[in-house]
Amino acid sequence: MTHGPCKRGWEVEAFEDGRLSDRDRASFERHMEGCAHCRTATSRLRELGKLLESLPAGERTDLERRRARASLLARANETTIGRDGRRSSRWIALALVPAMALVLFLVARTWPRTPTGTVASTPTASVTAVAPTVAAPLFEVADVDHADYVAERADGVSRVALRSGSASFHVEHVKPGARFLVVVPDGEVEVRGTRFVVEVAAGRTRSVVVSEGVVAVRVSGFEGVLRAGERWPQSPAVSATAAPSAAPPPASPLSPSARTALGPAASETSPSPGSRFAEAMGAYTGGDYGEAERRFIAFARDFPTDTRVEDAMFLLADARARRGDGVGAREAARAYLRRFPGGLRAQEAARLANAPSPP
Amino acid sequence: MPDRSRTRDLSEVPDPDLLARIAQGELGALGVLYDRYERDVRRVVARLASSSADIDDVVQNTFLEVLRAAAGYDGRPNARPWLIGLGVTQIRRDRRSVSRLAARLAAWAREPASPPTSPEESAVTSARAARLRRAFEALSTKKREVVVLVTLEGLSGEEVARVLDVPVATVWTRLHHARKELSHAMSQEES
Ligand SMILES: [Zn+2]
């Protein structure tokens, strides 16, 4: 790439790399019309560029790419949540546990620019100030059905504003002085280290289902405490069939007997895929794997094109494994892999599919 | 960041919003970013990493690094140059590791004299491509970087300067010398 006999030879590269001004470019174009040397140098440079394109680019198949994607998200999930061995919540695909410092930085940077009118990051009046030395609780949010939410952790308070849809929450132990709140359009749900599912539709909370721990509910005029196995309102059929404009279901005094209202007796005739999936999920997170299995199968059968079928099929395999049904788990995991070879849970499904048979 | 709420379909979300979501730990957004730019990052890694490097590993580490770096994203509408920059950092890190160096030497000792060629290529083209590949591999790392980033990835001089942390003029100088070496090597082999 010598400049050769022409004084303007150095401009060939600058011209090709697009770093000449408009005026210089026009001038050089005129020069090239009459300069064979610069024309040859330009075409050589282009030929070299074309040849460089032939350098190996590490191509691979779509299937390989999907597998790598699933593995990346699994690793990112571990990085985000941590590798705490006590966690059993690997079913969560979209975990949301930002690092404390990161969130403080973001909130500080973005809050002033948050447009007015969004429910998003408006602190609610019910949040009391806490000592900033207390770490806000760690939590995981899983989208159960079109969950539209915003999550924040700051000054000892973790807050998720759930505007609509259904999401399930898993909260680690809440230290004294720290709080975890789910802010819903018509109230809030406060937590003490637990797993639960909240469903919001048409600006109103439809249901809160607790599978682990204790939850304080202050929603639609109701105030009370829900324990593992309890739900508000009491009957799932009421929340699923109530018209959006109907008055909220009456608050029910929750007694230990309310526990039986959830579980196998829960309605399977709920109309929406969202509530059907939430029910299956509730059984699963509540540890009722037999019931979860039945509900995931029914979900995949009744809503074959729903995007959550992938979750249902994987969780079916997982529920069977947890129930000790190794053969059934392998079968379900293989069915998952056949249908979703590059799925988000492909790695874990492969592990279940290849698990050794029990003696 | 006008709206940090989750929506079902992230595929339409612009790059800066996607990175804001990733900074908050939203893994779905990382998946979308991966879908958008994995091919670009992988191509750069394949061409710039040492021959013994595990390309998959470097690409994965690049996207994992996004988790940490997302909060500092400068908000440019297109995240591609930034991601390629993260990729280059990972490539350099990979190249520096001592075990890599040993593996690289071992791989060099085993390497076949000429790379495999695809049947579609004509004999002449593949011979030229093989020569070019040898010449490219003989370039210094610094020269290879500018060739890949400017000529193959089409990044602007300013973008490359930022990625490599050198003045823009240095980018053009390196590129000029790289081209000179490549042309020289090609003409040597031809004669
Ligand atoms: Zn000329």
Q: Which of B4, B129, B172 has the CB atom closest to A150's CB atom?
A: B4
* CB < 8 Å & 24+ apart, contacts of A151-154: A151/A96, A151/A98, A151/B24, A152/A103, A152/A107, A152/A121, A153/A98, A153/A100, A153/A103, A154/A103, A154/A104, A154/A107
Note the pLDDT of residue B189: 65
CA distance A281 to A299: 11
A 100-119: CB under 8 A from B: 102-103, 105-106, 110, 113-115, 118
Q: Which of B56-60, B91-95, B180-184 has the lowest mean pLDDT?
A: B91-95
Which residue in A87, A93, A57, A91 sits closest to A73, CA to CA? A93
Exposed, middle or buried, A191 (CB in 10 Å: 0-12/13-18/19+)?
A: buried
For residue A337, is it within any domain? yes
For residue B102, is it within any domain? no
Question: What Rg, from alpha-carbon coordinates, does chain A have?
Answer: 29
For residue B26, is it within any domain? yes
Same domain, B58 and B131: no
Query: How many cross-chain Cβ pairs, A to B, lie less than 8 Å apart?
Result: 144
Q: Look up residue A190 and give its amino acid.
A: E
Q: Which two tokens stand for residue A248?
A: 């909220």
Same domain, B70 and B124: no
By residue range, what is the domain housing residue A337? Answer: 266-359
Report how many domains make up chain A: 2
For residue B162, is it within any domain? yes
For residue A78, is it within any domain? no
For residue B104, is it within any domain? no
Q: Tell how far the Cα of B85 is from the centroid of ligand 1, in angstroms.
A: 36
* B175 has a chain A CB within 8 A of its CB: yes
User: Average pLDDT, stretch B167-189?
Assistant: 93
Note the pLDDT of residue A88: 31
CA distance B53 to B45: 9
Same domain, B3 and B91: yes
pLDDT at B93 over 50: yes
Note the pLDDT of residue A192: 65
Same domain, B85 and B41: yes
Q: Which of A80-89, A93-102, B113-122, B150-159 has the lowest mean pLDDT?
A: A93-102
CATH number of the domain that residue A356 is part of? 1.25.40.10
Domain boundary among B97, B125, B159: B97
Which residue in B18, B29, B71, B3 sits closest to A95, CA to CA? B29
Q: What is the 3-state secondary structure (H, E, C) of B82-143?
A: HHHHHHHHHHHHHHHCHHHHHHHHHHHHHCCCCCCCCCCCCHHHHHHHHHHHHHHHHCCHHH
CA distance A272 to A206: 13
**Is-cis flag, bond preceding A233, omega within 30?**
yes
User: Scanning every residue of chain A, which has its alpha carbon at the shortest distance from the alpha carbon of B66?
Assistant: A76
> Tens digit of pLDDT per residue, chain A (359 long)?
555 689 999 899 999 998 899 999 999 999 999 999 999 999 999 999 999 999 988 888 888 888 888 888 888 877 765 443 333 332 332 223 322 222 222 222 333 333 333 333 333 322 333 333 566 676 767 666 677 888 777 777 778 888 877 777 777 667 767 788 888 887 888 776 667 777 777 778 888 877 777 777 888 777 777 777 777 776 543 333 333 333 333 333 333 333 333 333 334 445 677 778 888 888 887 788 888 888 988 888 888 777 778 888 888 998 888 888 888 898 899 988 888 877 777 888 888 888 775 54
Contact check, Cβ <8 Å, B27/A95: yes
* B132 has a chain A CB within 8 A of its CB: yes
Note the pLDDT of residue A251: 34
Sign (positive or negative) of CA dihedral A23, A24, A29, A32? positive
Q: Are strands A187-191 and A179-184 parallel, antiparallel or unpaired?
A: antiparallel
* A75 has a chain B CB within 8 A of its CB: yes
Same domain, B142 and B57: no
For residue B103, is it within any domain? no
For residue A133, is it within any domain? no
Q: Tell how far the Cα of A33 is from the centroid of ligand 1, in angstroms.
A: 9
Domain boundary among B40, B74, B97: B97
For residue A245, is it within any domain? no
pLDDT band at B99 (very low <50, low <70, confident <90, very high): low
User: Scanning every residue of chain B, which has its alpha carbon at the shortest distance from the alpha carbon of A48?
Assistant: B183
CATH number of the domain that residue B159 is part of? 1.10.10.10
Nearest-5° angle of CA B148, CA B33, CA B12?
120
Report how many domains make up chain B: 2
Write the pLDDT tens digit of every residue in B37-89: 999 999 999 999 887 778 999 999 999 999 889 999 999 999 999 999 999 99
Same domain, B67 and B121: no
Q: Tell how far the Cα of A49 is from the centroid of ligand 1, in angstroms.
A: 20
* A54 has a chain B CB within 8 A of its CB: yes
Note the pLDDT of residue A244: 35
Contact (CB, 8 A) for B46 and B55? yes
For residue A147, is it within any domain? no
For residue A19, is it within any domain? yes
* A43 has a chain B CB within 8 A of its CB: no
Same domain, B4 and B63: yes
Same domain, B120 and B34: no
Same domain, B8 and B86: yes
CA distance A213 to A275: 22
Note the pLDDT of residue B3: 43
Establish whether this prediction's ipTM goes over 0.95.
no
Same domain, B92 and B134: no
* B60 has a chain A CB within 8 A of its CB: yes
CA distance B116 to B126: 9
CA distance A280 to A309: 12
By residue range, what is the domain housing residue B186? Answer: 109-191
Q: Give the single-character DSSP code of A33.
A: H
Of the two residues A259 and B109, the one the predictor is more confident about is B109
A 246-275: CB under 8 A from B: none
Same domain, B90 and B131: no
* B150 has a chain A CB within 8 A of its CB: yes
CATH number of the domain that residue B7 is part of? 1.10.1740.10
Q: Which of A14, A94, A105 has the CB atom closest to B71's CB atom?
A: A105
